[in-house]
Structure 1
Amino acid sequence: MSEPEIVRSGKFQDRKMEIEDKFEKLRVVGRGAFGVCWLCKKKGEENAEKVIIKMIPLHGLSTKEEQEIKGEADLLRKMKHPMIIGYYDYFTCAESIAIVMQFAEGGTLENLIRDQRGVHFSEATVLKYFTQILLGLEYMHSLNIVHRDLKTQNILLNKKRTLIKLSDFGVSKQLNTRSVASTLIGTPNYLSPEMVEGAYKPFLQHEIGHLGAGLRLLRAVHGIGLIST
């Protein structure tokens, strides 16, 4: 089955509407530090595609936190690639920010590893996932975007669990070609050696660090265990 066409709002701007105007809420599929992810489907459409709506309450957010959340939506809007979770829309409703995204029915790579119950994947399967991760990162880097928190929990899968989707760009950053991502951000066991040692490098060299994080993912998928940092 081919991937659904991503329909994007043409201009990134604040718009106010209620979720119930266009969508039917089905169930909560995730909760995070800032908000809740709802599984929804469009109203009035037979066999409507299911989507994820990430709801982040504005109450209690600092101006900086609000801008970071809007920045995540803006980065998603700029990216269109088979290995990147699809962006559909952004709006505000009921004192919350809502980001509408593609629904990855296969769950996370972390869940897939757990479902194996200690049984290792074949090398061909590991290579397939690792290659797709690198393709997604290569595309992001072509736009000067760094993920900064690449880990199995942030890698989603399609229904058949054959295609990966990079997701969760809450701490991602778009750089110019001379920028340095100088803030230590990420999950400790997935940080690159350069980040751990504080050797921050210009963007074009930063890809090496992401490759190091990718190798940790490969080790995790293959059941070998993470490199200690």
Structure 2
Amino acid sequence: YDKIKILGQGSYGKAFLVRDRKTGRRGAHKVVKEIDLGRMSPHMQEDALAEVDVLKSLQHNNIIAYFASLIQDATLCIVMEFADGGDLSTAIKRRKAGARRFNQDEAMSIFAQCC
């Protein structure tokens, strides 16, 4: 994968927008979440690996798709779908900043997608 840009950063890793070198298709972007296992306690490492198992088991239109994972040089790399529309947290923050509430239809649509 070729890294395009960083999407976010946390205490133990970073998330990157990437392009698949094999396909080389424009617009076929994915996200690679890199987690530094070397900086984690054994318990936290187990939690990170359990996250992979959970992601593998989830398949739903409203859940980010899991593609692959690997460990390289004590870094857990998780390859996932890129959601260019953003997430619910970002949508809520945008609405709050603009002092705009979700109308009833929007709220019901969001609720239905979460269930």
> Which one of the candidate residues 102, 105, 109 is aligned to 2:81?
102
The answer on whether the counterparts of 2:12 and 2:39 sit within 8 Å (CA) in structure 1 is no
Equivalent position of 1:132 in the other structure: 113
Aligned to 2:6, which of 18, 28, 31? 28
Q: CA deviation at 1:46?
A: 2.5
- Alignment of 1:93 onto 2:85: no
Structure 2 residue 104 is matched with structure 1 residue 123:
yes
Provide the identity percentage: 25
Q: Which runs of 5+ in 2 are unaligned?
A: none
Consecutive aligned runs of 4 or more in structure 1 exceeding 6 Å deviation: none
Match of 1:80 among 35, 55, 59: 59
- Alpha-carbon offset, residue 108 of structure 1: 2.2
Question: Structure 1 stretches of 5 or more lacking a match?
Answer: 1-22, 135-229
- Which of the numbers 33, 36, 43 marks the counterpart of 1:54? 33
The letter of the residue matching 2:2 is: E
RMSD: 1.4
- 1:2-13 to structure 2, matched below 5 A, reads none
Give the secondary-structure state (helix, strand or coil) at the position aligned to 1:115.
helix
- Bigger relative contact order, structure 1 or 2 (CA pairs below 8 A, ≥6 apart): 2
Would you say the 8 A contact 1:54–1:100 is kept in 2?
A: yes
Q: 1:26 to 1:110 in 2, by over 3 A?
A: same
Map residues 57-72 of structure 1 onto 2, 5 A cutoff.
Answer: 57-72=36-51
SS at match of 1:59: helix
Aligned length: 112
Contact 1:56–1:96 (CA<8 Å) still a contact in 2?
A: yes
Q: Hey, what's the Cα distance between the residues in 1 that align with 2:41 and 2:87?
A: 30
- SS for the counterpart of 1:114 is helix
- Assess, with a 3 A threshold, how the Cα gap between structure 1 residues 48 and 114 changes in structure 2: closer, same or farther: closer
Query: After the TM superposition, which residues 155-166 of structure 1 pair with which residues of structure 2 at under 5 Å, given as runs?
Result: none
- SS of the residue corresponding to residue 39 of structure 2 reads coil
- TM-score w.r.t. the length of structure 2 is 0.89
Tell whether the 8 Å contact from 1:42 to 1:50 is kept in structure 2 after alignment. yes
Measure, in 1, the Cα distance between the counterparts of 2:51 and 2:14.
15
Q: CA deviation at 1:48?
A: 5.2
The answer as to whether partners of 2:30 and 2:79 remain within 8 angstroms in 1 is yes
> Highest CA radius of gyration, 1 or 2?
1
Specify which of 13, 16, 23 is matched with residue 38 of structure 1. Answer: 16
Q: More displaced, 39-48 or 80-89?
A: 39-48
Q: What does 1:212-223 correspond to in 2, within 5 Å?
A: none
